[in-house]
Amino acid sequence: MRCEGWRIRDRFLRQFLRCIVRIFGIWNFFRLKRVYMHGDLEFFYKNSDVCMYILTMRNYINSKLLNFNLIILVLSIVTFVTSRNYESWEGSQNIDRDSFANVDEVITTHFELKLEIDFDHRVLRGLQQLQMTKLAPRVDQVYLDIRDLKVYEVYGDHGEPLNYAIDNPNPMLGQRLAISLSREQASSKDFAIYVQYETATNASALSWLAPQQTSGKTLPYLFTQCQTIHARSMAPLQDTPSVKSTFVVETLTEPAIQTRVTGNMTHNQLQNSSGVELRFTRHQIDIPIQSYLLAIASGNLAERKIGDRTTVISEPEDLDKVANEFVQLEQFLDVAENLTIPYEWGEYKLLILPPSFPLGGMENPLLTFASPAIVPGDRSSVDVAIHELAHSWFGNLVTNNNWTNFWLNEGFTVFLERKVVKKIFGEDFYKVTAKLENQTMYFDMLDFGLDNDMTSLSPSYDGIHPDECFSDIPYEKGFQFLTFIESVIGEETMLDMLRAYLREFQKTSIGVDDFESYFSSYLEQRFGSDDARRILDTIDFNTWVHGTGLPPVAADFETKEYNEAIELAQNFIDTTPDAEKAAALYKSFSVNLKGLFISHLIDNLESLNQQKTQYIDDVLSVSSEINGEIIYRWLQVSIRSGQLQAPFTLADEFLGSIGRMKFVVPVYAAINAINPSKAREIYAKYEDFYHSMARDAITAVLKSEDVLISS
């Protein structure tokens, strides 16, 4: 039985209550009475007999029957509570159910990670030192998140061995490392834990590339991807966005290998140990961040400064092209900063990874990762870089406290990204981008089902790996929610609110209730109670955040150019338009307009056949495009219409050249819908090339009988 109506949400109230029960007991009965009448002993919930005690006590209090029986009852509760083992208490689970860490009792404030990067065996050997602070008065154990780590030794502040055990409360999420504290640690507020360990060769955060998989083809390469919950496969951590800490990471590699880690580099030098020369690097970050932002890139790296605060990094062979592609990076930073609050992270570094990186970009502070897919050579995909830069404020500075609230990272980031895009590239570019991604969101919703909980901004996926819920929905539905709020309160007020929001919550992790409460307070302070209520009545928070399906209010992003692209696509579907005029118009389109043109074809696949698709390609030469945003959409059309048939040569070449999930998963789905055996054959050829996140997504598609129609 669970007494769901009573809930003490504030951890300090919870600690205060426990202290009262344990220390003062019956002599502080009237303090207990006040807490009981306004809250709920959450750590009693699992026990029906305790719930019965509390219910009985409330009845006594409410009827003012303060007699001897009540005193005996309170004494019974005190005796029961002080004799309980608090392992059953689930306080931390109310913050982030994708972590096993008991973060309501103890949190990491700083860690120092020493790593040997072993390319020969494809493992990291590490010593993790966690500096921890208690939030609860009595803590006997610390729970850390791990995934397939070989733990060799755990010890405390003075080298004393600590008992530990590993169990599997939910194998989907990894394992729990339960560490028993020493007597001295149990009585201290602050303490340290040391864990010596080794990663698995198939650790989900790590991608090991052979030299031939790199541009230079001379040195091996390692890169990591820790979002959402993959950091636990790289190091023992409280792997939840609800915990932020500073850290230091030291690495040892072969002398020729250069390593970059999230944070500022303080050492990069060769050192001799027992006659063996190794490269030692040290990176540190002094602004507390969440574990999924821990990132490592190790290989043949070179960097070039392109602005006062901006630098690009890549393999040496690609550096000129990368620097030319992002020559505006400093401008992007300046515009974003002017729209928000000062950028405080230091030098913004953008690292272009090898092609197997599974995402468009990843916002690791001081070391943003990006796919080479955003470097087509014509600066047509720089909005991805703007998006990752915008995370410096939303996501990195103010963070979702769990993956259910992921839209607080991505919706806000897309909103700022589009503001920067509008300032630099104009209103039409902004609207076309928003319209294109709105269609992608719609396709994602169709894949889930419009009434599926995953189409809400607050999906409930307890016990499910959060990667399984990844889609464009938190990005685009979140963006449209904020755009709607802006339409109600005005752009000037919206930007002022966002600046105040950033100042209020910077360096913390929050939930949607925090945002809603703050927004209400902001409106009341700015407009007064009556106007604030009127505005809030216009904004249906519950439907926007918890409702499924399309946004409750449709945003208008149509432009003249958008209508031209849709009309051209429809003309090809209905007729055979004049080839010369059609080719000239298509050639004038931006990459995003071409994407909208093809997306309309995807949305009308039932009206296309092999001949119509071939005519479109003959006239427009779509299959000769170089931008992956166009290619992956066109391959879906050509495969599903029958224009591209087995052995699917163009698709095969594309799938072997890039590992970005947005691009490859829909193409595999298209092939699988036509020829499952060929889809599996192509995947088997490139399986080792892909990151584990991409492998999981592709294999899910190949096993599914559902028809995935877009990214």
**Binding-site sequence positions for a peptide:** 225-227, 358-363, 660-662
Annotated binding site for Zn(2+): 387, 391, 410
How far is it, in rounded angstroms, from Cα 496 to Cα 339? 9
How far is it, in rounded angstroms, from Cα 135 to Cα 156? 19
Decide if 475 is catalytic: yes
Bin 297: left if φ > 0, else alpha if -120 < ψ < 50, else beta: beta
Please name every residue paired with 369 in a beta bridge, in sequence order, or none if there are none. 351, 362
How far is it, in rounded angstroms, from Cα 185 to Cα 183? 5
Q: 295 near 368, Cβ under 8 Å?
A: no
The sign of the dihedral angle between the CA atoms of 201, 204, 208, 212 is positive
Quote the crossing angle between the two packed helices 407-425 and 382-390, to the nearest 10°.
Answer: 130
Query: Would you mind telling me the total number of residues written for the chain in this entry?
Result: 711
Q: 470 near 425, Cβ under 8 Å?
A: no
In degrees, rounded to 5, the angle at the alpha carbon of residue 218 between the alpha carbons of residues 216 and 223 is 75
Q: 360 near 627, Cβ under 8 Å?
A: no
Bin 642: left if φ > 0, else alpha if -120 < ψ < 50, else beta: left
Residue appearing with tokens 């640690």: 185
Q: 206: which 2 tokens?
A: 């790590």
Nearest to 322 by CA among 225, 215, 206, 430: 215
Please provide residue 371's backbone torsions phi and psi, each rounded to the nearest 5 degrees.
-80, 145
Among the listed residues 430, 475, 522, 690, the single catalytic one is: 475
Distance of CA 113 to the CA centre of its chain: 22
Q: How many CB atoms lie within 10 A of CB 408?
A: 27
Among the listed residues 105, 112, 303, 388, the single catalytic one is: 388
Distance of CA 603 to the CA centre of its chain: 29
How far is it, in rounded angstroms, from Cα 115 to Cα 102? 26
Please name every residue paired with 281 in a beta bridge, in sequence order, or none if there are none. 251, 268
Annotated binding site: 225-227, 358-363, 387, 391, 410, 660-662
Render 122-150 in DSSP notation, one character per residue: TEEEEEEEEEEEESSS---EEEEEESS-E
In 168-244, which ranges are E strands? Answer: 175-180, 190-198, 206-209, 221-224
Which uninterrupted H or E stretch holds 165?
strand 164-167
Decide if 388 is catalytic: yes
State the catalytic residues: 388, 475
